[in-house]
Structure 1
Amino acid sequence: MSNDDANFHALKSVTTATITTILLKKGLRNVWLRGTRPLRSDQPRLVGRAFTLRFVPAREDLATPESWSSPISTRGAIEAMPEGCIVVVDAMGVKDAGIFGDILCARMRKRDVAALVTDGVVRDLVGVLETGLPVWCDGAAAPPSVAGLTFVNWQEPIGCGGVAIFPDDVIVADADGAVVIPKALLDEVTALCIEQERLETWIMTQVNHGEALPGLYPPNAENKARYEASRRFA
Structure 2
Amino acid sequence: MDSLALDPAIVATLQGVSTATLTTVLLKHGLRNVWLRGTRPLAPGYPRLVGRAFTLRFVPAREDLATPASWGNPISTRAAIEAMPEGCIAVVGAMGVTDAGIFGDILCARMAQRGVAALVSDGVVRDVTGVLGTQLPVWCQGTAAPSSVTGLTFVGWQEPIGCGGVAVFPNDVVVADQDGAVLIPQALLDEVIEASVEQERLEGWIMSQVAAGAKLPGLYPPNDENRKKYEAWKKSGGR
Kindly indicate whether residue 202 of structure 2 is the aligned counterpart of residue 199 of structure 1. Answer: yes
* Identical-residue share of aligned pairs (%): 73
Residue 3 of structure 1 and its aligned partner are, at CA, apart by 7.0
Q: Measure, in 1, the Cα distance between the counterparts of 2:60 and 2:6.
A: 39
Kindly indicate whether residue 160 of structure 2 is the aligned counterpart of residue 157 of structure 1. Answer: yes
Q: Measure, in 2, the Cα distance between the counterparts of 1:16 and 1:124.
A: 28
1:1-234 equivalence runs, <5 A: 4-234=7-237
Q: Measure, in 1, the Cα distance between the counterparts of 2:203 and 2:20.
A: 12
1:51-100, CA deviations, whole angstroms, 9 ceiling, x for partnerless residues? 00000000000000000000100000000000000000000000000000
Residue 231 of structure 1 and its aligned partner are, at CA, apart by 1.2
Which region of structure 1 is more displaced relative to structure 2, 5-14 or 154-163? 5-14
Q: Measure, in 2, the Cα distance between the counterparts of 1:176 and 1:186.
A: 20
Is the CA contact (8 Å cut-off) linking 1:7 and 1:187 kept in structure 2? no
Structure 1: gaps spanning 5 or more residues: none
Q: Measure, in 1, the Cα distance between the counterparts of 2:235 and 2:97.
A: 52
Residue 177 of structure 1 and its aligned partner are, at CA, apart by 0.1
1:151-193, CA deviations, whole angstroms, 9 ceiling, x for partnerless residues? 0000000000000000000000000000000001101100100
Aligned length: 233
One-letter code aligned to 1:28: L
Residue 5 of structure 1 and its aligned partner are, at CA, apart by 1.9
Is the CA contact (8 Å cut-off) linking 2:6 and 2:51 kept in structure 1? no
User: Structure 1 length normalisation: TM-score?
Assistant: 0.98
Poorly superposed stretches of 4+, deviation over 4 Å: none
Q: Measure, in 2, the Cα distance between the counterparts of 1:61 and 1:107.
A: 27
User: Structure 2 length normalisation: TM-score?
Assistant: 0.96
RMSD of aligned Cα (Å) = 0.9
One-letter code aligned to 1:215: G
Q: Measure, in 1, the Cα distance between the counterparts of 2:217 and 2:17.
A: 24
Structure 2: gaps spanning 5 or more residues: none
Q: Measure, in 2, the Cα distance between the counterparts of 1:3 and 1:158.
A: 21
Secondary structure of 2:230's aligned partner: helix
One-letter code aligned to 2:135: G
Residue 233 of structure 1 and its aligned partner are, at CA, apart by 1.5
Residue 4 of structure 1 and its aligned partner are, at CA, apart by 2.5
Secondary structure of 1:103's aligned partner: helix
Secondary structure of 2:209's aligned partner: helix
Q: Measure, in 1, the Cα distance between the counterparts of 2:131 and 2:149.
A: 18
Is the CA contact (8 Å cut-off) linking 1:101 and 1:127 kept in structure 2? yes
